[in-house]
A and B are shown apart, each in its own frame.
Chain A
Amino acid sequence: MPRRRGGTLLAVMLTVIVLAAMGAALAQRAVAHVEVARAHARTDAARAAADGAIVAAWHGWDGVQRGNDAVGAVATQLASADSAAVVVSIVHPSARLWWVSAAAWTPGGAGGRLVARSSGMALWIRVAAPVPLAAISGAGEVDLAPLARLVGPALPPSGWNCPLAPALEAIVFAPPATLRSPPGAVVGGIALPSSSLTDVPAAWAAERSVIAGQADVVLPGDTTLETPTLADSTLCASGWGSPDRTGRGPPCPRRFVVAHARGALTLRGVGQGVLQVDGPLVLDDGARLTGLVIARGPVTLRGSARLTGALVLVGGAGSRVSLLDSARVEGSGCAVAGALAGGTLLTEVPAHAWYRLR
């Protein structure tokens, strides 16, 4: 049997070793780059989760809850998005400001550490006027029918959770003013001229252009809104919302309208929010409005119409409020706060509301 030298085998083995070494090096680099790419992907996922959580918090904003937060309150909630754990915080640091922030963590950092990304958004209420402290504020005449009621410290609307809301007076009058009411028709205090309280109508009058600019429903000329339009449950984005939180009403409890009627307005439905009316306002029988009404002209409530919140008369001494039949005006700080923080008067801080924090 001839003896083999093994030269070719040696050459082949050397070649295989060289190629294997090169392949291993390339594979190692590929793995390293995959890790880098994976880290970038996890970082992007954390960023997207933080940003998305803020958008979700803004989308699910509850005006009643947030508007009635105590100054300094912090609401925290946990969320998850894909592989990220997210903590969302909503802090109410001062009267008109909210700060929404989210921090998201994903695994995948160097050494198995978590990757964290955070974002923040600042919100504010665009009107600076003080919250009315009475069911009716302003100068003018107020007439109540025998069965009509003007209630200051009313209970919050059914299903509204706002234990910290301030109790309101029945009326804060700026002189000259007249109240004509049968005995027992007014429940709550009647405050006569007071320097701080009487500034309320003037302050709201000064905000009229801001409210008009922020209104998401503008009613030109003389308008009558029938019930189907006012309580349209299918259009939460453009309807007037539903103050009924007991589950029986239309499903738009977080929708608060900011409406501006440029002329006369007659309401025959249900809604919640801020309503500014330049002409005469009539709440017809069965109408139910929850929130804040800023009226420049005369206001009439007929039949079983009910206004829950506050009515501010900015028309001066010529203002007139008539509560006919069994109509009611109920003062509710809770409703006013919810209307201010739930509608389009609450916006992102102009131009620079969003921040990538980390």
Chain B
Amino acid sequence: MHRVTRAVGMGFTLAESLVGMVLAGMIAIMLVTVCVRQGAAGTAALLRAAARSQWADSRGVLAGDLAALSQGAGRLLIADDTLIELDAHVGAALLCKPTTGGSAALTVTALGLTGLVVADGWTRAIASGDSVLAFDPAQGLWVGGVLVDAQPGLCPPGPLGGVGRTLTVAALGASLSLPIGAPVQLRRRVRWSAYRAADGRWYLGLRERAGHAWATVQPVAGPLDTRGGRPLPFSLADATGQPISTPGGWATAAQLEVRLAMLGDSPADRVPLVAALRRRP
């Protein structure tokens, strides 16, 4: 008897192979589609996460600068919908050694959180050319000069005693006398703006003025989404909440809003930073 048998391991029939190839192809197509979609979703998620992180970080820096502003205090120097220029906070400390007339040196606290009293803090590194302002309670005025040099110093024993910093200041009033505890602040002119970088994309940038020259602009957040046109991140409002659009109107600004649309983010991520400028006493 002739028996037709298929040996084990001898292969598949044509029909089996065709069906197997079709199925394998379909699975491959599905896998590739899923991978491509996942890759795109992953890239979008990364972009979105990066946008969120950047905005969160830049919000912190920007909020610190805006927190130092007060209504009509003259520290908001220029403002429109693409740029704000302000006298930014570098740091603050308390005078720990009284000054006498003619002295160009101010000894201030540098204890940070280690002292009995939290009496100083710095958001930027001190640099020559920074503006120095000291409050003179006798006049009720801030008197100022330009920082020449900053060196480690020593505060006499007392509630503000310990580690200090000696600021050498040019153009400080010759007859100035300040008591212990007088607030001293350092400022630097900075400019926040939406700018187009060399790669053709838009970023939120920060530029600082060191001495008499502007430093190179540094990207803080971006790239910005330009599908709606040129980014206009800044808007101002007065004390009644009405938008300010007139040139020079920033002098009456009571509220500043920063809204960034970044590439890859979603509208839900665009939580604006709204800063209400403090009222002066």
List residues of chain A with CB under 8 Å of any chain B CB.
Answer: 3, 7-8, 11, 15, 18-19, 22, 25-26, 29, 33, 36-37, 40, 43, 72-74, 76, 87, 89, 91-97, 99, 101-103, 116, 118, 120, 122, 124, 126, 128, 347-358
A74 to B180, CA, bound (A): 14
Which of B38, B92, B180 is in CB contact (< 8 Å) with A357? B92
Report whether B137 and A101 are in contact in the complex, using a CB–CB cutoff of 8 Å. Answer: no
CA distance A40 to B271 in the complex (A): 14
Closest chain-B Cβ to A43's Cβ sits at a distance in Å of 8
A33 touches B49 (CB 8 A): yes
Residue of A89, A126, A347 near B118 (CB, 8 A) is A89
Q: Tell me which of A29, A99, A356 contacts B89 (CB under 8 A).
A: A356
Closest to B53 in A: A36
A sample of 28 cross-chain residue pairs with beta-carbon separation below 8 angstroms, ordered by A number, consists of A15-B27, A19-B34, A22-B42, A29-B46, A33-B49, A72-B159, A74-B117, A87-B118, A91-B160, A93-B94, A94-B181, A97-B181, A99-B117, A99-B119, A103-B118, A118-B121, A120-B92, A120-B119, A124-B137, A128-B140, A347-B281, A350-B140, A350-B141, A350-B142, A351-B281, A352-B142, A353-B183, A358-B112
| Chain B residues closer than 8 Å to A353, beta-carbon distance | 183, 281
Which segment, of B66-74, B188-196, B212-220, B254-262, faces chain A? B66-74
B56: Cβ under 8 A from any A Cβ: yes
| Chain B residues whose CB sits within 8 angstroms of the CB of A8 once the complex forms | 23
Q: When the two chains form the complex, which single residue of A91, A118, A347, A357 contacts B181, counting CB atoms closer than 8 Å?
A: A91
Chain B hits for A349, CB < 8 A: 135, 183, 281
Question: Please, which residue of chain B has its CB at the minimum distance from the CB of A11?
Answer: B27
Q: Which bucket holds chain B's interface residue count?
A: 35 or more
Q: List, in ascending order, chain B residues with CB within 8 A of A25's CB.
A: 42
A355 in contact with B52 given A89-B117, A93-B160, A93-B179 (CB within 8 Å) = no
Contact A91 B117, beta carbon cutoff 8 Å: yes
Q: Which of B241-262 contact A (CB under 8 A)?
A: none
Q: Is the CB of A22 within 8 A of B182?
A: no
Shortest CB–CB separation between residue B40 and chain A, in angstroms?
12
Distance to closest chain A CB from B239 (angstroms): 16
Our pick among B35, B70, B113 for the contact of A358 (Cβ within 8 Å) is: B113
Known: A96-B137, A99-B183, A101-B117. 20 other contacts (CB 8 A): A8-B23, A22-B38, A29-B46, A40-B56, A73-B159, A74-B159, A91-B160, A92-B181, A94-B181, A99-B94, A103-B118, A122-B135, A128-B140, A349-B183, A350-B140, A350-B280, A351-B280, A354-B68, A357-B118, A358-B112
A29: which of B45, B70, B281 is its contact (CB, 8 Å)?
B45
A185 to chain B, nearest CB (A): 39
Closest chain-A Cβ to B203's Cβ sits at a distance in Å of: 21
Q: A97-B137, A349-B135 are in contact. Are A355 and B160 (CB under 8 A)?
A: no
Please measure, in the bound complex, the distance between the C-alpha atom of A175 and the C-alpha atom of B179, giving whole angstroms: 33
Least CB distance, A204 to chain B, in whole angstroms: 16
- Please determine whether A352 and B185 come into contact, CB atoms closer than 8 angstroms: yes
A255 smallest CB distance to B (angstroms): 18
Chain B residues lying within 8 Å of A26, measured Cβ to Cβ, are 42, 45
- B159 touching A91 by the CB < 8 A rule? yes
Most chain A beta carbons < 10 A, residue from B117, B123, B141, B182: B117
The answer for the CA separation of A37 and B57 in the assembled complex, in Å, is: 11
Q: How far is the CA of A349 from the CA of B45 in the complex (A)?
A: 47
Q: CA separation between A355 and B94, bound complex, in Å?
A: 11
Tell whether, in the assembled complex, residue B181 and residue A93 are in contact, meaning their CB atoms are under 8 Å apart: yes
CB distance B46 to A355 under 8 Å? no
Q: Hey, which chain A residues are within 8 Å of B158, CB to CB?
A: 72
- A18 CA / B180 CA spacing, docked (Å): 67
> Which of A36, A43, A73, A120 has most B Cβ within 10 Å?
A120
Q: Please tell me if B31 contacts chain A, counting CB pairs below 8 Å.
A: yes
The residue in chain B whose Cβ has the minimal distance to the Cβ of A94 is: B179
Q: Is B197 an interface residue (CB 8 A)?
A: no
User: Could you say which of B27, B49, B135, B158 has the most chain A C-beta atoms within 10 Å of its C-beta?
Assistant: B135
Query: What is the bound-complex CA distance between A72 and B31, given in angstroms?
Result: 74
Known: A126-B140, A349-B135, A356-B68. A94 touches B180 (CB 8 A): yes
Instruction: Decide yes or no: A3 and B8 within 8 Å by CB, A19-B34, A99-B94, A118-B118 being known contacts.
Output: yes
B22 on the A face (CB < 8 A): no
Which of chain A's residues have a CB closer than 8 A to the CB of B70? 351-352
B281 partner residues in chain A, CB cutoff 8 A: 347-351, 353
> Does B116 touch A at the CB level, under 8 Å?
yes
| Residues of chain A contacted by B67 (CB below 8 angstroms) | 354, 356
Measured between beta carbons, the chain A residues less than 8 angstroms from B141 are: 350
Q: Establish whether residues A355 and B89, one from each chain, have CB atoms under 8 Å apart when the complex forms.
A: yes
Contacts of A348 in B (CB 8 A): 281
Write out the residue numbers on chain A whose beta carbons fall within 8 Å of the beta carbon of B181. 91-94, 97, 99
In the complex, which residue of chain A has the Cβ closest to the Cβ of B65? Answer: A356
Q: Residues 107-141 of chain B: 1 if any A CB is under 8 Å from the residue's CB, otherwise 0?
A: 00000110011111101000000000101011011
Given A97-B179, A350-B281, does the pair A36, B185 have CB atoms closer than 8 Å? no
In residues 1-60 of chain B, which contact A (Cβ within 8 Å)?
Answer: 8, 20, 23-24, 27, 31, 34-35, 38, 42, 45-46, 49, 52-53, 56, 60
Does B272 count as interface, using CB distance less than 8 angstroms?
no
* Chain A residue nearest to B138 in the complex (CB): A128
The 9 closest A-B pairs by CB, nearest first: A93-B181, A357-B121, A94-B179, A101-B118, A355-B92, A351-B73, A358-B121, A347-B281, A122-B183
Contacts of A87 in B (CB 8 A): 118
B64 at the interface (CB under 8 A from A): yes
- In the complex, A356→B138 CA distance in Å? 25
**Which of A11, A76, A116, A355 lies in contact with B185, CB distance below 8 A?**
A355
